[in-house]
Amino acid sequence: MNSVEHQAFRAAVEEKYRVHVQAFKDEVTEPIVTRFFAPDAVWECAGFPRHEGTEQLRKLFDEVTKAGHEVAFRPIRSYVDGAMGWDFVDYSVRPRDPDANPFMFRCIFCWVRRAEDWKVSACVGFTVQYAP
């Protein structure tokens, strides 16, 4: 898919991923919960508790951003149609502790466009073996 709509969607979500990655570098939560996720978003990855809404996501990301992990997104496939789209990605996590093993979530981010701003309404994923 290489339509103008798809290219605009990719550019918008890539910018959101940059915000997310920078928040981890800065060890801050607010850009993630206010600029990346929608207020009613759901985050659920296999083996981890479900988090719903801004307050629960804030608690989750307060903990993980302050741990000093380095994160990155690698898109696999995406789709957009109007004000909804999804992006299937590898979300890698490299802990600050050099003795800790890096890991990766394979996630599907469901995006919604509200007031011309794309935000994640749901993230569902699972952990996969990471090969640095």
Give pLDDT tens digits for 82-113: 999 999 999 999 998 888 889 999 999 999 99
Annotation: CATH topology of 4-128: Nuclear Transport Factor 2; Chain: A, (3.10.450)
Q: Are 90 and 7 in contact (CB under 8 A)?
A: no
* Residue spans per domain, the chain: 4-128
Predicted pLDDT at 98: 87
Give pLDDT tens digits for 27-36: 999 999 999 9
131, with CB counted inside 10 A (0-12, 13-18, 19+), is exposed
- pLDDT of 131 above 90: no
